[in-house]
Structure 1
Amino acid sequence: MAPLIAINNHTTASAPRPHILYNVQVTLSRKHTVAPRRYSQFVALHETLKDPFTLPPKRLLATTFIPSAWVDDALIAERKAGLTQYLSDLLQSPDYKDAPALLAFLSADDILAPRKFDVEDAVPSTLSRKAALDIDLTSDGDAEAAATPIAAAYYPDWAGLTPENIDFSKFDILFFAFATPNSSSQLSFGSGSQAILKRLATAAHKSGKGTKVVLSIGGWGGCQYFSSSVGTSANRAKLVSSIQSVINSNGLDGIDIDWEYPNSPGAGQPYSSADAANLLSFFKSLRSALGTSKIISAAVPHLPWLGSNGSPLKDVSAYAAQLTYVNIMNYDVWGASSNPGPNAPLGNLCGTSKQPQASAQAALAQWKAAGFPASKLLLGLPLYGYVSKSTKTGLTGSLLPSPDMLLLQKTELPPVSESTKESSAEDPAEPDMHFLNGSHAHPKEVKTAAANANLQSWWGQQIPFNAIVKSGALVKHSDGTYGEGGGFKMGWDDCSDTPFLFNTAQQTVVTYDDTWSLTDKAKFAKSNGMAGCFTWSLDQDDGLTLQNAIRKSLGK
């Protein structure tokens, strides 16, 4: 006869911080025992047993803005019911009911040695958001040992920045965007771009801060000739030679391949089922030519490259042997929409996402599962958001991708001209959703918004973080964080760990990232042994506020 389980009450403990203990009442043959257990102990049991049953989801309490007692009541009630069901499922299962770990868990003894405080055990109303963010996020699985995490950024050639004015102490790597392969399998630059690149490399090296400058090739709309340039050994040799020449003549520290995407039409370029295999051959040739001292990286989506069968590769360890880093573009998961969703989810934190593979947590797991070590993975962080025409006051989850992997495609809105901006603001075209394809595109020109923070002229477009601040919709506080302004209200999406702004009177929702959400993602990268983080792109920051928050979270 299986024991009867009930969790009808709970207690709180004060050390090391106020946390919740769920009193597990076990009844067997008229004998009653009570085992006080933290939520994190249930998680540990679940991980030990590797059982198929469901726990109530993590809520990442660090995202709670305003602690309140009703949050306590709602969370505790949800977990009591869910944890009771979880234990009952285990005890009804012939595979798990006699497991030593389960029997020990149900005993009245204290089964776990002291461990550091887990945010998920907290009493929400006693833990401020700032205090929660000061607690290290626990990682899922063993974190790989990594060197000091890298804080990098992309430097677009169209940004209008002065290379000599960059504070290089804030950046370990600057990825200069972009050169593109041409029809002759050589590199091409935009007007004046290569001169800016050389100035940037010279200034970085003269600064003495150790900043490396890497040229990025491709970008959204710049991949027309990638497939043909790596498609034959002769073309690969031409492209490698051209890259080597540009590196040497400009004093660069490496090359970044931003092919969006192999075996996919991307922005409408030719592609081949042999693209992934040819890309590996290209990486091998490139590494042989450049040697081990130069950086070779690749900007990628959440899932590995598509193989010849149109599905993500299951083993990319051969690529990892050639590459220094893979740059995961964890953004553009959801574009502008009447039902807006998060631009850059940390994870599927409520277990409700319709596309759970499109997040920072999922990307790390997916690339590691395919054989790419975490210590070579850089997590991408967006310094921009999207403005949607919508009256929503909350965010929705990501869409489900189609079976033929159209998730690796993206449709962008055409540029909005001054002559059509007024009419398009009344009824903007609805863009296709962006799926698993963080991409590097040219942003719209930053315009000065109206004094009352009316962002309707941005409907359907990306918006730089500094443009949100400039509009007055975000107001910078003295501690470096940002709050609502200009008639907008700020919300927080616990399910993705990202902020948003809304103004129902203006039918406007802004999805973006701020110091809080970027801190969470950077801490996630560090605690999971990732190589570090990069941003797209440094010109969209409010000075260096976001970059400083990221660096601090990486322990720099």
Structure 2
Amino acid sequence: MIKNIFLLLTCLAIFTGVSVAAAPDNEDKSQADKVIIGYVFSPDKPLDPATIAAEKLTHVNYAFSNLVDHKIVNGFEFDDQNYRRLNDLKKRNSSLKILSSVGGWTWSGGFSDMAATEESRQIFINSAVEFVRRHQLDGIDIDWEYPGLPGAGNKHRADDGTNFALVLKGLRAAFDSLEEELGRPLMLTIATGGFPDFLAKSDIGEWQKYLDYINIMAYDFNFPRAGGTTGHHTALYSRAEDDSGQSADAAVRNHNAAGVPLHKLVVGVAFYGRTWVNVNSQEAGLNQPGDAGEPSFGSARYNNLVASVIGKGTYQRHWDDIAKAPWLWSAQEKTFVSYDDPESIAAKVKYIQERGLGGVMFWQYTSDHNNQLLDAINNALER
């Protein structure tokens, strides 16, 4: 109905010369409009722009800038150089947006104090404006892990959710003014936990008013621990026997029920796996007792899984058609690996299209193998 009215108004505008406002932003977006947001993390060395497929991304979230004395500051030695190199990627993709992601698991300890008072919030907002100017950014992504929760043992308050809304409101107003100065739009996004406790402590229905996108970290739903149980860490749908009850679909539904429009939700996929050792052999290791520990092959980043595990030695790939997720299992090694691959990513993209979501986010770029997973996203979007 809305679309028909908009088409009618457009036709009238052609004949009358009257301008027509854009269609409501809650309309479902076409595949071409879906975002592909890649987190790029390079703490130890300068980025090589030749290794980043700028044409296959819509946004780069550079991780991470830090928070010191309520101010956004560079996180790593080569950040100035890396921001310049990321901006140079726009020569290959003029519509590419470069954002700085602030915080992350390690550097979320200062958010609660920053958000607690009007004075400290304004210090943060002013620093964000200067950070955007300095690095010629297209916006800021805030990765606070997590408001109202300890995360990595961080200070937190019961009113973090309410205070964060004030941060976002003030930052959005400051960016609106800065847009006029710079003559270009500026984005404000956040990364969110995909688990119910996060939403329970949040004020996300208020937060979303000031945000372009909300990037759901739809991974680490099951995490290796001593005496734990194996499971999918980045499932699209949850299984009845999965005690976590968590999945990308559950996270999307919970975010939406908490007041976030579907078109603002971006589903995160994992370019890395999670590994359990000392696993029971029943059901090819799925939903079995297992422990955290270092597997014989080392890192579970996707590029290392391709090089050392998938189709190698005693490891066999299995597919869960309920969760729409693969896993790797070696009875000899007693090792279980949960991960995303091109098939599971294609299933998630199909889900994103069917639900009218904003697009795909992934952590993180350098864990891919010859752009296999990034290509899976683009291919599923028919780009």
Q: Please give the alpha-carbon distance, in whole angstroms, between the structure 2 residues aligned to 1:279 and 1:220.
A: 17
Task: Tell me the equivalent position of 2:48.
Answer: 162
Q: Please give the alpha-carbon distance, in whole angstroms, between the structure 1 residues aligned to 2:44 and 2:323.
A: 29
Residue 210 of structure 1 and its aligned partner are, at CA, apart by 1.4
| Bigger radius of gyration | 1
Alignment partner for residue 395 of structure 1, among 280, 283, 286? 286
The one-letter code matched in structure 2 to 1:329 is: M
Task: Tell me the equivalent position of 1:278.
Answer: 163
Q: Please give the alpha-carbon distance, in whole angstroms, between the structure 1 residues aligned to 2:313 and 2:292.
A: 26
Contact preservation (8 Å) 2:276, 2:292:
no
Q: What pairs with 1:82-481 in structure 2 (closer than 5 Å)?
A: 145-147=28-30, 148-158=33-43, 160=45, 161-182=47-68, 184-291=69-176, 293-303=185-195, 311-313=200-202, 316-337=204-225, 339-348=229-238, 350-356=239-245, 358-389=246-277, 390-392=279-281, 393-396=284-287, 430=292, 455-456=295-296, 458=298, 463-471=300-308, 473-474=309-310
Residue 208 of structure 1 and its aligned partner are, at CA, apart by 3.5
Q: Please give the alpha-carbon distance, in whole angstroms, between the structure 1 residues aligned to 2:291 and 2:242.
A: 25
Task: Tell me the equivalent position of 2:382.
Answer: 555
Residue 335 of structure 1 and its aligned partner are, at CA, apart by 1.9
Taking structure 1 as reference, are residues 466 and 306 closer, same or farther at Cα in structure 2, changes over 3 Å only? Answer: closer
Residue 158 of structure 1 and its aligned partner are, at CA, apart by 2.2
Contact preservation (8 Å) 1:200, 1:213:
no
Q: Please give the alpha-carbon distance, in whole angstroms, between the structure 2 residues aligned to 1:490 and 1:208.
A: 36
**Is 1:538 matched with 2:365?**
yes
Q: Deviations over 1:310-358 (max 9, x none)?
A: x345x6332221000000000011122563110101012x5443333x2
Q: Deviations over 1:24-76 (max 9, x none)?
A: xxxxxxxxxxxxxxxxxxxxxxxxxxxxxxxxxxxxxxxxxxxxxxxxxxxxx
The 3-state SS of whatever aligns with 2:300 is strand
Residue 496 of structure 1 and its aligned partner are, at CA, apart by 1.7
The one-letter code matched in structure 2 to 1:336 is: P
TM-score w.r.t. the length of structure 1 is 0.58
Contact preservation (8 Å) 1:197, 1:250:
no
The one-letter code matched in structure 2 to 1:546 is: L
Taking structure 1 as reference, are residues 351 and 304 closer, same or farther at Cα in structure 2, changes over 3 Å only? Answer: closer
Taking structure 1 as reference, are residues 296 and 545 closer, same or farther at Cα in structure 2, changes over 3 Å only? Answer: same
**Is 1:515 matched with 2:339?**
no
Contact preservation (8 Å) 2:143, 2:191:
yes
Taking structure 1 as reference, are residues 321 and 246 closer, same or farther at Cα in structure 2, changes over 3 Å only? Answer: same
Contact preservation (8 Å) 2:234, 2:270:
yes
Contact preservation (8 Å) 1:164, 1:203:
no
Task: Tell me the equivalent position of 1:526.
Answer: 353
Q: Over aligned residues, Cα RMSD in angstroms?
A: 2.4
Residue 469 of structure 1 and its aligned partner are, at CA, apart by 1.2
The one-letter code matched in structure 2 to 1:225 is: G
Residue 384 of structure 1 and its aligned partner are, at CA, apart by 0.5
Q: Please give the alpha-carbon distance, in whole angstroms, between the structure 1 residues aligned to 2:316 and 2:163.
A: 49
Taking structure 1 as reference, are residues 304 and 189 closer, same or farther at Cα in structure 2, changes over 3 Å only? Answer: farther
Residue 504 of structure 1 and its aligned partner are, at CA, apart by 1.1
Contact preservation (8 Å) 2:232, 2:338:
yes
Contact preservation (8 Å) 1:163, 1:196:
no
The one-letter code matched in structure 1 to 2:229 is: N
Taking structure 1 as reference, are residues 286 and 520 closer, same or farther at Cα in structure 2, changes over 3 Å only? Answer: same
Contact preservation (8 Å) 1:304, 1:370:
no
Contact preservation (8 Å) 1:164, 1:200:
no
TM-score w.r.t. the length of structure 2 is 0.83
Amino-acid identity (%): 27
Residue 269 of structure 1 and its aligned partner are, at CA, apart by 1.1
The count of corresponding residues between Structure 1 and Structure 2 is 343
Contact preservation (8 Å) 1:302, 1:330:
yes
Q: Please give the alpha-carbon distance, in whole angstroms, between the structure 1 residues aligned to 2:198 and 2:241.
A: 26
Q: Please give the alpha-carbon distance, in whole angstroms, between the structure 1 residues aligned to 2:118 and 2:76.
A: 30
The 3-state SS of whatever aligns with 1:333 is coil
**Is 1:506 matched with 2:333?**
yes
Q: Please give the alpha-carbon distance, in whole angstroms, between the structure 1 residues aligned to 2:251 and 2:291.
A: 30
Residue 244 of structure 1 and its aligned partner are, at CA, apart by 0.8
Task: Tell me the equivalent position of 2:10.
Answer: none
Residue 303 of structure 1 and its aligned partner are, at CA, apart by 4.5
Contact preservation (8 Å) 2:275, 2:292:
no
Taking structure 1 as reference, are residues 470 and 286 closer, same or farther at Cα in structure 2, changes over 3 Å only? Answer: same
Q: Which runs of 5+ in 2 are unaligned?
A: 1-25, 180-184
Taking structure 1 as reference, are residues 507 and 208 closer, same or farther at Cα in structure 2, changes over 3 Å only? Answer: closer
Taking structure 1 as reference, are residues 159 and 548 closer, same or farther at Cα in structure 2, changes over 3 Å only? Answer: farther
The 3-state SS of whatever aligns with 1:230 is helix
The 3-state SS of whatever aligns with 1:505 is coil
Q: Please give the alpha-carbon distance, in whole angstroms, between the structure 2 residues aligned to 1:198 and 1:513.
A: 29
The 3-state SS of whatever aligns with 1:154 is strand
Contact preservation (8 Å) 2:326, 2:339:
yes
The one-letter code matched in structure 1 to 2:233 is: N
Q: Please give the alpha-carbon distance, in whole angstroms, between the structure 2 residues aligned to 1:305 and 1:339.
A: 20
Q: Please give the alpha-carbon distance, in whole angstroms, between the structure 2 residues aligned to 1:388 and 1:302.
A: 21
Contact preservation (8 Å) 1:144, 1:528:
no
Q: Which runs of 5+ in 1 are unaligned?
A: 1-142, 400-427, 432-443, 445-454, 475-483
The 3-state SS of whatever aligns with 1:272 is coil
Q: Please give the alpha-carbon distance, in whole angstroms, between the structure 2 residues aligned to 1:301 and 1:144.
A: 25
Q: Please give the alpha-carbon distance, in whole angstroms, between the structure 2 residues aligned to 1:169 and 1:493.
A: 32
Residue 551 of structure 1 and its aligned partner are, at CA, apart by 1.4
Residue 485 of structure 1 and its aligned partner are, at CA, apart by 2.4
Taking structure 1 as reference, are residues 521 and 504 closer, same or farther at Cα in structure 2, changes over 3 Å only? Answer: same
